[in-house]
A and B are shown apart, each in its own frame.
Chain A
Amino acid sequence: MAKGQSAQLDRKKLLADPIMMTTIVLLITFLTLFILYPLAILLVDSLYGSNGFSFATFKRVFDLWTFRRAITNTLKVGFVVGILSTLIGLLFAYVEVYVKMRKVVGGLFKVVSMLPVVSPPFVLSLSMIMLFGRSGLITRFLLGIYDNDIYGYWGIVIVQTLTFFPVCYMMLKGLLKNIDPSMEEASRDMGASRWKVFTTVTFPLLLPGLGNAFLVTFIESIADFANPMIIGGSYDTLATTIYLQITGAMDKEGAAAMAVVLLCITLAMFAVQKYYLERKTAATLTGKASRARMLIEDKSVTIPLTVLCSLAAIFVIMMYLCVPIGALFPTWGYRFTPLTFKWFEQVFTRYRGLQAFRDSFVLSLIAAPITALLSMIISYLVVKRKFKAKGFIEAVSILAMAVPGTVLGVGYIRGFANGLFHTGILSGLYGTGLILIIVFVVRSLPTGTRSGISALRQIDKSIEESAYDMGANSLKVFTSVTLPLIKDSFLSGLVTAFVRSITAISAIILLVTPSYLLITVQINEFAEKGAFSIACAFATILIAITYGSVLLMNLIIKFFGTSRKIKEGK
């Protein structure tokens, strides 16, 4: 039995809806051109050279021992960081969900989960060097160690763990809250000790979730560029090797082949995470907790756990605080008094800080609403409408999540520097602010789309159908019904996109031209040169901007968000 005329009718209906049709065509063009094409060109370039099709470029890069070492380095770091972050995240999540703790501790936890979101990626590397480096505040002045080498493997591992464990903590917290307490009570009731309950009930239920958290961190670690760049020293990872291959060795074909290797690794991980672990997590932890959990009040349990977590949290917070404080010292490592604003002044007087902030700010400010709107449109189409190319749009926007920034950067260089397929078409794009904006959009699109999809899934499909049925066209349905209902999600998507853009570095550092000064690139440069005070001053202002915009968003949502009003009624 073949499908009859319905496919043809659906097509006719789509054609009768020009707005929807145009949107879909534009979206497909955008996704193909700026996500699929740059990745495809990497593969094409590294396989198809002037002598036709060959594996020569791959063979050449694999012959480089630096590249082979970078692969093992990257995997080693990723693995260890994944394990450590998951374990620390689990500890924090467990304490938050199971243990009765004071409000102050809860506040600490909240700050810790918030910090990585609003900070530029390499802040922890900076403070790590300033606290534990050769002239570090703690190593040299407190402990009297003069030759502590923080650069390298351990530096990266510590910094990345501290950066990524809050993500694991947030993920695992959500899962733990979904475990129905009665299951654990049943186990306890049959005579199991708390530890036995954890090992026989909680832990097995959580296992896929732990695997999920591990892989997410693994991918993040592998894709991380900024930290290995600053604190890696001679310990190169794939992301930094690719960067050096372009900027140092000027070998773009080689870099393309390396990028393909990095992309394959992250895509494989992502596939396992997305299609196996995420589903398994959902399958084991579907039930909502039927009622509140009896929190552990036993002091012999609560005190050690709370103290341990609080110390860890305070340590992390101190690391972040080190950056603004560091910017106030006259010379880090030598003179600590009197506190001075001279570095902040120099940011603007000597180092063209105003231009850097203006460029970063303006580009991110343009990118943010585009990203937010685009991700809401994609979510709307994916969740609420049905049409042929829907699967493609969803797959590509989610695929972008697994693409490391460095890979995307190389793809853009290969794909646009000489125009499309090196023909010169669209070559005007390269080196402009527009391509930077596009990179910002592409880098933030997956997160926005994911949150948009989950927000829209909670809205009854028939609400939009009803508007459509009443005579509203697609645009009217979207603007009068969909958008107002996901206003909160849209606003937070807006700010997330802005924060992610203004703190982005991995892809952008490969694409930025001297006509644009970007803050993150500046910070990276100063940190590389060892000018930590000025790097800190830049970073402090950046954190102030990002944190300010998050606060602003919360205020706006509080006063203008509709969702709250709607939720309260139910």
Chain B
Amino acid sequence: MADKRVKNPKGVKLDHISKIYQDPKTGKDFYAVHDVALDIAPGSFVTLLGPSGCGKTTTLRMIAGFESPDEGEIYLGGEPINALTPNKRDTAMVFQSYALFPHYNVFDNVAYGLRLRKVPKDEIKRRVKDILALVELSGMEARMTNQLSGGQQQRVALARALVVEPGVLLFDEPLSNLDAKLRVQMRTEIRRIQQALGITAIYVTHDQSEAMSISDQIILMKSGVIAQMGSPTEIYYHPVSEFVADFIGECNFLKGKAASCGNGQVAVQLPTGTVAVETEKSYASGADCEIVVRPEAIRIADEGMLPCKVELSCFMGSYQNYHVRVGDTLVKITDNCPVNKKIYKVGDQAFISFDPACAHLL
């Protein structure tokens, strides 16, 4: 297995696609997906992330061909594919429920796509064997699928999709039926295999940590529209809206007014004090702005930038969890490795502070 990489990873382009559904209760049409424009490079791993009902699965199903877009065109490897049925598209999907064929054993499940493509018998045998080795299921060929654990079934589903070497691999919340530990293990596995094969992958999930750990690019969706797209770090540290900031991890929002601007920093006037935040944007003096800062970026100490009152103090093992009141605003703090630090109790007065580089302005 010198060269495992797939020969033809394909790019996917969504050219302003929309999907209209009818609300079954009111009978009114609404956009399930609205004007989504995307360009996915061959060989990259892209995640569609968002709360349920945000249109991510519908988008994926339109790429697979199960749904037809009402507006726009989908391109796969540069070719328009709107009018192609799912069986004519060079895609392979891994389903949330695995969708293994219960009347076939592992080998026949994986060989299904190859047999449809009339691949010679010897080659089928070799390719199934190779792919099962890749997903670490060697020797399981004769098992019926219901004799496998959830994680193993997931690997079979993955192998079945991979073995046909599709131009793009689609994942529809593939890990949501697994328990938490297995989920973490499998997502590392999926990423490893995708990297090893150099295959294009589009992955749908509502789990932000899954999205962060696995993707080159995250496309965060809300109510059918793209809320933000970018690399995991971009989205985490430079969210464009309160929704994005809040959906990706926990976040604190501090409202204030810009006081002075310069040197790539803005001084923000808050009711309880003034803090500096790094930014590339410039603000007019007195303009409304909102500071976004992650709980782990905030320090709590006897001295600092803003005074606060502790309302909750909770030992979580690897960190101490605080809720403190700054003026009227509730601020969440996770103080890592609390063992050598001072622990504040409920009702204590303290100060919070954060690095200008770790905060972000909306």
The residues of A with any CB-CB pair to B shorter than 8 Å are: 1-7, 9-10, 12-13, 16-17, 460, 462-463, 465-473, 476, 480-481, 484-485, 562, 565-566, 568-570
Contact = CB atoms under 8 A, between A and B. Distances in A.
A1 B18 CA distance: 12
Contact of B93 (A13, A469, A562, A566): A469
Contact of B113 (A1, A4, A13, A471): A471
Given A16-B84, A462-B99, A1 B20 contact: yes
Nearest to B147: A569
Contacts of B66: 465, 468-469
24 contacts: A6-B19, A6-B20, A9-B68, A9-B82, A9-B83, A10-B68, A13-B65, A16-B85, A465-B86, A465-B93, A468-B85, A469-B65, A469-B66, A469-B92, A470-B116, A470-B160, A472-B112, A472-B116, A473-B87, A481-B101, A485-B102, A562-B103, A566-B146, A569-B144
Interface in B60-104: 64-71, 82-89, 91-93, 95-97, 99-103
Contacts of B46: none
Contacts of A470: 87, 92, 112-113, 116, 160, 164
B328 interface: no
B200 to A, nearest CB: 16
- Top 6 nearest A-B pairs (CB, nearest first) are A569-B146, A4-B70, A9-B68, A462-B99, A466-B99, A470-B113
Given A3-B70, A6-B67, A9-B69, A463 B87 contact: no
Contacts of A5: 68-71, 82
A463 B86 contact: no
A9 to B, nearest CB: 4
A2 B70 CA distance: 9
B96 A13 contact: no
B179 interface: no
B126 interface: no
B344 to A, nearest CB: 47
Given A4-B18, A4-B70, A469 B91 contact: yes
Of B31, B82, B117, B147, most buried by chain A (CB within 10 Å of CB) is B82
Contacts of B100: 463
A34 B149 CA distance: 50
A6 to B, nearest CB: 4
B3 interface: no
Contacts of B84: 13, 16
B29 interface: yes
Contact of A467 (B112, B144, B146): B112
A5 B20 CA distance: 10
B68 A6 contact: yes
Given A3-B29, A467-B112, A469-B86, A13 B95 contact: no
Contacts of B88: 16, 471
Contacts of A465: 66, 86, 93, 95, 99
Nearest to B109: A466
A1 B30 CA distance: 8
A435 B164 CA distance: 48
Given A16-B88, A476-B116, 19 more contacts: A1-B30, A4-B70, A4-B71, A5-B69, A5-B71, A6-B19, A6-B68, A12-B83, A16-B84, A462-B99, A466-B160, A468-B66, A468-B86, A469-B64, A471-B88, A471-B113, A562-B103, A569-B144, A569-B145
A460 B144 contact: no
B168 to A, nearest CB: 12
A470 B18 CA distance: 25
Contact of B102 (A17, A480, A566): A566
Given A17-B85, A462-B99, A466-B93, A471 B68 contact: no
Of A16, A471, A480, most buried by chain B (CB within 10 Å of CB) is A471
B30 to A, nearest CB: 8
A568 B86 CA distance: 32
B157 to A, nearest CB: 8
A480 B97 CA distance: 19
A376 B299 CA distance: 66
Of A2, A9, A470, A472, most buried by chain B (CB within 10 Å of CB) is A470
A463 to B, nearest CB: 5
Contacts of B102: 463, 485, 566, 569
Interface residues of B, number: 43
Nearest to B170: A469
Nearest to A566: B102
Given A4-B18, A469-B86, A471-B87, A485 B103 contact: yes
A489 to B, nearest CB: 14
Contacts of B92: 469-470
A537 B137 CA distance: 63
A473 B65 CA distance: 13
Contacts of B29: 1-3
Of B82, B97, B103, most buried by chain A (CB within 10 Å of CB) is B103
Contacts of A468: 66, 85-87
A99 B15 CA distance: 66
A463 B350 CA distance: 58
Nearest to B67: A6
Given A3-B20, A6-B67, A462 B83 contact: no
Contacts of B117: 471
B269 to A, nearest CB: 44
Interface string B316-356: 00000000000000000000000000000000000000000
Of A13, A463, A469, A480, most buried by chain B (CB within 10 Å of CB) is A469
A466 B95 CA distance: 8
B34 to A, nearest CB: 10
A88 B103 CA distance: 42
B20 A463 contact: no
A11 to B, nearest CB: 9
A287 to B, nearest CB: 23
B166 to A, nearest CB: 9
B257 to A, nearest CB: 40
Contacts of A467: 101, 112
Contact of B83 (A13, A473, A485): A13
B256 to A, nearest CB: 40
Contacts of B164: 470-471
Of A4, A472, A570, most buried by chain B (CB within 10 Å of CB) is A4
A6 B93 contact: no
Contacts of B101: 463, 466-467, 481
Contacts of A485: 102-103
Contacts of A7: 68
A425 B102 CA distance: 48
B169 to A, nearest CB: 11
Contacts of A570: 146
A470 B160 CA distance: 9
Interface string B122-151: 000000000000000000000011110000
Contacts of A9: 68-69, 82-83
Contacts of B144: 565, 569
A403 B139 CA distance: 57
Contacts of A6: 19-20, 67-70
B185 to A, nearest CB: 23
Nearest to A465: B66
B124 to A, nearest CB: 14
A487 to B, nearest CB: 8
A569 to B, nearest CB: 2
Nearest to A20: B85
A468 B30 CA distance: 28
B94 to A, nearest CB: 9
Contacts of A1: 20, 29-31
Contacts of A469: 64-66, 86-87, 89, 91-93
